[in-house]
Structure 1
């Protein structure tokens, strides 16, 4: 008797997918697999906290500023604690750099082989108005010998050294998207089962797109090449879409094709986005999906960081669109 029509398969669970793909990892020791599972678990916990924030007094400001000089939200602090605790308990991570921490967080796991760079809750100021938010992470292998103290060289690595990167989008559905350098795959959370299931296999960004994402409120502070590019977008009748949550804007453009721009301004000469735990991760993902990421002149992942909270201008998305911005920037500098 055929029962397939009354018991449809739910798909491939994240844990099973990781196990199947372990041989694709650059260092297939099982530790990276476990680390990805730790991230998924912390993501589930943060998802729970977000969904009940309005009923448990977790919405709104915490009352302090982070190292960036930004108002911390209560859920910023909660997410930072949840992910830090997961990495500490997992044992694979020896140190973290986080948007919410001024200095490197040494987890006292001397045998940990990995460094995590993380924005625990991107776009958290949008929580009070029910707008999509997310988590962004990068994973690096430590350079110094295992067993010893964490060194600066372990942390300040180029984006090209990432062994994995991803993000978790908390929205109408919760998604985990990640790459280990062998393509990009997305998993949707099924809360009744408590599992992430493969929903977007081998994600590819269109070569060109119809969306540009930028905060045009700062238009008069942009450089001439950026202004010119915006005018070209308008002449082409492209759609302007800007949510104000980096993960949400990036995710939409990844699926539909487009460009996200956070340029330098007169006030912020180096832009506002952070290289280590925002730009590098998304650059790795977009390149694995067939797109590009640049600071206007150089490939994002080839930039050498000097400090853990370094900021850079950021242009990321469909190849043709990013190439055009870069062309205009280079013409100005010629």
Structure 2
């Protein structure tokens, strides 16, 4: 019989994982089940489409963005294990009134929300940090959240596709669990996801090619040249329009995902959010044997200066990411 998420977390506690961390992951996983149901019933419940408002990022919010954010807040707000929450959809943090919560939860409630109305792949990304406020007996502040990715104690995402899958790391490899809708349980379907070092697949939005930095243009030109070019191999390109969708493919069969900074005025700092997207995904990718960089630096070593800070992202199969990073160093 396959192991469930609950059984996996109990086993992790036996080898030293904190009980409160296991409880937090259980609660987050239940929030993801509720979000999955909301996504699945979006057309039936009439909650597709956009709202007449923007989030702190200046992006028009989808109805499901707000619904998923409210679910995460409500489900995670009662257990006492959190000192505070921060979301891509909220201006600032939501601290817990109690001072004993050991962890901080950071999340993007719906990643790839532009896919919602076309029934494309979306997901929920989350990151767990230790709360400095717990030891100091005070309420959490925004500054407590500004920790580099290397300080994450857990990270993961739920992907809502043909299957609902939870991908998780507690810092000792990457596990995947599929939702059994008949029982409501998360059933382990992968014990140690590994990204192949080499790949013949890449993901990037070709619409912005004219704005790319030179190292990215060089890399893409080489792989597009195929077997007659300098790489001597035919590559395939894939692009889903949601980070979780493209990253899940990378974790499953290898590849490179790129969303670099570029020359557009609003993209000089990058598109993806460091704390809500880049850090948790980088943690997963590294735990699966891959690499994650902004071109010049390891993503998880970047020091956040703002809650909604952005960054360029290049991650996936280690040999390919190292090659692109080398192109950046020589540019």
**For residues 314-325 of structure 1, what are the structure 2 equivalents within 5 Å?**
314-325=313-324
Distance 1:226 1:157 in 2: 28
Is the contact made by 1:24 and 1:182 (CA closer than 8 Å) also made in structure 2?
Answer: no
In the alignment, what sits opposite 1:31? Answer: 20
Name whichever of 143-152 and 51-60 sits farther off. Answer: 143-152
**What does 1:174-189 align with in structure 2 at a 5 Å threshold?**
174-189=164-179
Counterpart of 2:4 (choices 13, 16, 37) is 13
2:41 pairs with 52, 75, 88, which one? 52
Structure 1: 4+ residue segments shifted above 6 A: none
CA shift for structure 1 position 106 = 1.4
Match of 2:190 among 187, 192, 200: 200
Q: Does 1:133 align with 2:118?
A: no
Structure 2 residue 13 is the aligned partner of structure 1 residue 22: yes
- TM-score normalized with structure 1 length: 0.94
Counterpart of 2:101 in structure 1 is 112
Q: Which aligned pairs between 1:90-101 and structure 2 lie closer than 5 A?
A: 90-101=79-90
Query: Contact 1:88/1:109 (CA < 8 Å) preserved in 2?
Result: no
**d(CA) in 1 for partners of 2:65 and 2:171?**
29
CA deviations on 1:98-151 (whole Å, 9 max, x unpaired) are: 100011121323211111110011011211111110000100001233531213
User: In structure 2, the residue corresponding to 1:90 is in which secondary structure?
Assistant: coil
**1:112 and 1:308 mapped to 2: Cα distance?**
20
Q: String of CA shifts for 1:68-93, please: whole Å, max 9, x gaps.
A: 01110011001100011111012211
Instruction: Verify: 1:220 aligned to 2:181, yes or no.
Output: no
What per-residue deviation string (whole Å, max 9, x for no partner) do you get for residues 139-183 of structure 1? 000123353121344210010000000000000000000101100
Q: Secondary structure at the match of 2:159?
A: strand
Equivalent runs, 1:218-297 vs 2, <5 Å: 218-236=208-226, 237-267=234-264, 268-297=267-296
Whether contact under 8 Å (2:85, 2:95) holds in the other structure is yes
Would the aligned equivalents of 1:93 and 1:112 in 2 still touch at CA under 8 Å?
yes
Pick aligned residue for 2:64 from 75, 88, 111: 75
Gaps of 5+ in 2: 227-233
What is the count of residue pairs matched by the alignment? 321
**SS in structure 1 at match of 2:186:** strand
What root-mean-square deviation, in Å, do the aligned CA atoms of Structure 1 and Structure 2 show? 1.1
Q: What's the secondary structure of 1:247's corresponding residue? A: helix
Tell me which residue corresponds to 1:89.
78
Distance in 2 (alpha carbons) for counterparts of 1:63 and 1:107? 29
Q: What is the DSSP-based 3-state SS (H/G/I as helix, E as strand, rest coil) of the residue aligned with 2:101?
A: coil
Is there any run of 5+ residues in structure 1 with no aligned partner, and where? 1-8
Shift of 1:327: 0.4
